[in-house]
């Protein structure tokens, strides 16, 4: 097997285990903290606020991530970042409002170097002919995390209207061990030598502190180019929809008491269905990587947009406006909320997210190979800003307003991505004509 592809598999497995812990925790955090606050009147931690802090610090520290990686390299950066995910999990064993929010901030700092390191490492392991395949394979492996953790949560939360301390600690303990296993995989990654196409300008012309400052400066210059500003609209939408399906959607179903006799156990099934959509999309685009490169990325993103719009409409008619906040007996346009519709929506949200993210990874890794660190840092910066904003307003806006925001930003982001893709296609055609 090709050594670079083997490293993609190891990278995917490492992220799969780390994010089995984190994505499962995101999915149940609101439910877990609500149960803790019922037992302890002094605990005031709020799930959406915690997630907002994570993404706020994530967004701000993304500007420093290229400089950090210029010193450590992507492999060390990912290991250090993964340790902050594990530390965050441990805070739930010792419920404290201050500890929760401090852990959230530390995780946000670690997330920036984790994801920027991942994007850089993925680009170094890929060529223009393999970037779509590698992006799809990595994404499919990453999203397998939605199965493992959420299946475990589904069985642990069965027949429970409140998540007791014993169940919480068991779930958190298991998830923490899984995160540590992911760190072991990331530590096993081999250093990939720089390719002439990949970050050579940064490595050859600059060293030490000057190299770190150059990385920051080049990322800033890249951000204000026309194509990157347009892409930022698509990045922004992926942040909003990420926060919706990872933090709000599952909680809204768990709080809708008329959707099932024990709605809390459905939260785990929601995560599994989202993961099924993500894995199916990532696997499909990994297998069809060469064809997507040939025909373009825009058709896949448009398909993802249509799936998301369908999911938002079905969620609108299925769940009540008050569902994101607390247990409610309210109904929406359907007399009885349907668990089946909710699970279909979860699958569509996951598949649509895979459409957007795999094609964004493909574009950044394929078109921005000379500044992969900066490109992926800007992607994660914009995405995490959007996620932070979303989690802040999730505590105040009803479900219907949140869905309206997603529809508007999704439409704008999709149009922007398509324009950029058309621009790159035109650029490639002109280049081919000149070579002939």
H/E/C letters for each residue in 308-362? HHHHHHHHHHHCCCCCCCCCECCCCCCCCCCHHHHHHHHHHHHHHHHHHHHHHHH
The tokens for 318 are 């299925």
State residue 194's pLDDT score: 59
Q: Kindly tell me if the per-residue pLDDT of 401 is higher than 90.
A: yes
Mean pLDDT of 175-198: 82
> In this predicted model, which residue has the larger pLDDT, 285 or 313?
313
Mean pLDDT of 228-238: 95
Mean predicted lDDT score pLDDT of the chain: 84
Give residue 408's pLDDT band: very low, low, confident or very high (50, 70, 90).
Answer: very high
Q: Kindly tell me if the per-residue pLDDT of 291 is higher than 70.
A: no
Mean pLDDT of 106-115: 92
State residue 198's pLDDT score: 41
State residue 292's pLDDT score: 59
Strand pairing partners for 256? 328
CA 70, CA 81: separation in Å to the nearest integer? 15
> In this predicted model, which residue has the larger pLDDT, 132 or 249?
249
User: Who's near 346: CB < 8 A, 6+ residues apart?
Assistant: 245, 249, 269, 270, 271, 273, 274, 277
CA 46, CA 400: separation in Å to the nearest integer? 21
The tokens for 111 are 């997330």
Say whether pTM exceeds 0.85.
no
Give residue 202's pLDDT band: very low, low, confident or very high (50, 70, 90).
Answer: very low
Class of the CATH-defined domain 218-435: mainly alpha
DSSP 47: H
Mean pLDDT of 210-239: 81
> In this predicted model, which residue has the larger pLDDT, 231 or 435?
231
Same topology between domain 1-193 and domain 218-435 = yes
**Which residue ranges make up each domain of the chain?**
1-193, 218-435
DSSP-based three-state secondary structure for 256: strand
Question: Architecture of 1-193 per CATH?
Answer: Up-down Bundle (1.20)
Give residue 430's pLDDT band: very low, low, confident or very high (50, 70, 90).
Answer: confident
Mean pLDDT of 357-364: 87
DSSP 246: I
Where on the phi/psi map is residue 330: left (φ > 0), alpha (ψ -120 to 50), or beta?
beta
Give residue 260's pLDDT band: very low, low, confident or very high (50, 70, 90).
Answer: confident
CA 236, CA 226: separation in Å to the nearest integer? 16
Mean pLDDT of 356-383: 83
> Do 388 and 55 contact (CB within 8 A), yes or no?
yes
Mean pLDDT of 250-264: 83
The fraction of the chain above a pLDDT of 70, given in percent, is 91
Mean pLDDT of 25-47: 81
Give residue 352's pLDDT band: very low, low, confident or very high (50, 70, 90).
Answer: very high
Q: Which of 263, 242, 284 is nearest to 388 (CA)?
A: 242
Give residue 290's pLDDT band: very low, low, confident or very high (50, 70, 90).
Answer: low
Report residue 351 CA to chain centroid gap. 13
């Amino acid at each position: 097997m090709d050594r670079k592809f083997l490293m993609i598999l190891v990278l995917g497995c490492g992220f799969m285990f780390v994010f089995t812990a984190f994505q499962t925790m995101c999915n149940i955090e609101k439910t877990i903290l609500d149960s803790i606050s019922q037992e302890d009147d002094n605990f005031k931690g709020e799930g959406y606020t915690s997630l907002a802090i994570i993404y706020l610090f994530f967004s701000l520290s993304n500007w420093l991530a290229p400089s950090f990686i210029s010193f450590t390299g992507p492999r060390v950066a990912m290991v250090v970042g993964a340790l902050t995910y594990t530390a965050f999990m441990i805070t739930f064993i010792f419920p404290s409002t201050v500890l929760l929010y401090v852990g959230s901030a530390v995780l946000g700092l670690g997330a920036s170097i984790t994801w920027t390191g991942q994007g850089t490492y993925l680009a170094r392991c890929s060529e223009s002919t393999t970037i779509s395949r590698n992006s799809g394979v990595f994404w499919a492996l990453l999203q397998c995390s939605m199965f493992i953790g959420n299946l475990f949560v589904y069985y642990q939360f069965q027949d429970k209207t409140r998540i007791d301390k014993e169940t919480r600690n068991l779930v958190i303990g298991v998830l923490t061990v899984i995160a540590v296993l992911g760190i072991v995989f990331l530590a096993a990654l081999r250093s990939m030598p720089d390719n002439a196409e990949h970050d050579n300008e940064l490595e050859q012309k600059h060293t030490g502190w000057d190299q770190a400052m150059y990385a920051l400066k080049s990322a800033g210059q890249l951000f204000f180019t026309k194509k990157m500003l347009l892409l930022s609209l698509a990045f922004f939408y992926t942040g909003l929809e990420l926060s919706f399906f990872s933090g709000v959607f599952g909680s809204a179903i768990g709080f809708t008491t008329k959707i099932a006799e024990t709605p809390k156990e459905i939260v785990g099934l929601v995560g599994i269905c989202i993961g099924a959509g993500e894995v199916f999309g990532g696997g499909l685009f990994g297998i069809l990587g060469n064809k997507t490169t040939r025909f373009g990325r825009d058709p896949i993103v448009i398909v993802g947009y249509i799936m998301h719009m369908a999911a938002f409409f079905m969620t609108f008619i299925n769940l009540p406006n008050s569902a994101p906040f607390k247990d409610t007996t309210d109904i929406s346009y359907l007399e009885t909320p349907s668990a089946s519709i909710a699970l279909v929506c979860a699958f569509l949200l996951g598949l649509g997210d895979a459409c957007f993210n795999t094609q964004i990874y493909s574009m950044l890794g394929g078109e921005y190979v000379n500044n992969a660190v900066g490109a992926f840092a800007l992607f994660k910066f914009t995405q995490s800003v959007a996620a932070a904003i979303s989690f802040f307003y999730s505590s105040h806006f009803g479900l219907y307003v949140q869905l309206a925001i997603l529809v508007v930003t999704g439409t704008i982001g999709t149009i922007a991505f398509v324009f950029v893709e058309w621009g790159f296609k035109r650029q490639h055609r002109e280049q081919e004509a000149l070579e002939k």
